Structure 1
Amino acid sequence: MKSVLLSTLCASVSASLLIATPVSAQDRNVGKRVDRLEQEMRAVQRKVFPGGSSRFFEPEIKPDAETPTTPATTSSAVSDLIARVDALERSLATLTGQVEENGFRLKKIEDKLAAAEVPPVSTNPGQLSAIPSGAPDAENTQTTATPDPERVTGVESIVMPETGDAGEDAYIYGYRLWEAKYYPEAQAQLKKAATDHSEHRRASFAKNLLGRAYLDDGKPALASVALYENYQELPRGERAPDSLYFLSTALVQLNKKADACRVLSELQEVYPSAASGRLSARVTRGKAAADCS
């Protein structure tokens, strides 16, 4: 479309020049204007069609070889030529403005694309944002942002006790992190405590608290897995009944109320003393939250 426009404009100039040859001072001035316009047209061609051919500027109307040109022109012919040149100048100005505007828009688009940042996507839903010193899975954790110095200082201020009971100390350290609401750090420490001290009585505590740390961190799906595993792997653990209760809470958050009611029923059947004793208030609240009949 642009090539047709340019060819038409230049053809008009070429045809006009074939009609009359300038002989007066006014004609010479017109000739200079035409030369300048042709140069500007070629500059536009190079900008719009980089590496293009000059064929776009060949006149569409060829002069008749047998028709001689006359040196004399009438004033009307000169006026017509001037009018055509004026029209050509206006067309050239419009085209040049469009080219510059399109170039400006393209530059803005390129700048926006260059400035766009695509955040990294993790395929591991359990990946931690930060891990305390000595916590597990550090080699599998990808740091996506500069740690908050205040948070780092807060985590470092929580120390692991040294009572001589490694299993107890590992759990208490995870509990302190959870209590301070450093949930990702607590999750990592509680996993480590449960793994490193799987035969310790605190293993049941660590796995149950891991599920609660996921719940408090807004991750009910991960919480449900951790809590169910504690019940299945350590059914005689001291916090197995608690894990069933918190499992029902996670299922309610996942909009699985019917499953939550079945879990609470199992809690009452398998651990009747706990369900009617220290967990009775929680069981009542859990059934209300799950709309159990």
Structure 2
Amino acid sequence: MKLKAALLAAVLTLAPVMTAPPVLAQTAMPDPLDDRSVKRLDKMEKVVRELRSIVFQGRDTGKPVVVQAAETDAQIAALSERLNDLEQTLTKLNGQNEGLTHDLDEARRAGDSQKARADALDQRLAALEKKIADQEAAALAAVPPPPPPPPPAASTDPAQAFKSARQLLLDGDYAAAESAFAGYVEAFPDSAKTPEARYWLGETQFVREAYGDAAGSYLAAVRGWPQTSWAPDAVLKLSRSLVALKKPADACKTLDELARRYPKAPSAITSKAATTRVQAKCAA
């Protein structure tokens, strides 16, 4: 009995040691699922839940289960319908465009026709205008020019007559001044102012390029080589008139007399005389 009791006590003493699990170090176990697997698992679970819902729906209602079309199929159907609408609209627009193109071609052809007609009318109008202008020119040529106005009545006073003719020249009325100086020379041939009147008469003729008349007036004015302020210019204008009349030899002789008779002529006169020598090709 004592032995049995002793063995029982020993077993009781060792029992906690034998029954207690060994203490092990806690080590984290690696997760066998990666992110991709987790996502796939979640998707499969979602599908299973949807299938269960469909099955339970059929069991609870006793009606056939109608599986709705996926959202993507509905979108494709909507897009297909919109595409059909766009195709029909495009076909309609193409038809309208063809009609507009036809109308535009017709309008362009009509415009070209109108332009051709307008060009033809312009040509006819230009021809008519030219014909009218030619007829007017012929009519004007057939009409004789009006007679020149009668010269103004010569004053009996030589001083007043000379003053009036000089004023006409200053006013730029060369035609009237020419007539007045010609009347003065004719009315007062022996007046002291007659040589100067001949000089101014030559000026009016020189201005209108009547070089033959001007040369005669200048020559009559400087006969006797007067020592006056206008005499050097009269000799110069005489030489220039002779150049215009294509008489260079006479012009050169006149220029020689100008230098000999009027050595103190103004610089403007001598400068123009040098230029005239070049034009007449006078010998140096």
- Could you tell me the TM-score, scaled by structure 1's length? 0.42
The structure with the greater share of residues assigned to helix is: 2
Structure with larger RCO (C-alpha < 8 A, sep 6+): 1
* Larger of the two Rg values belongs to structure: 2
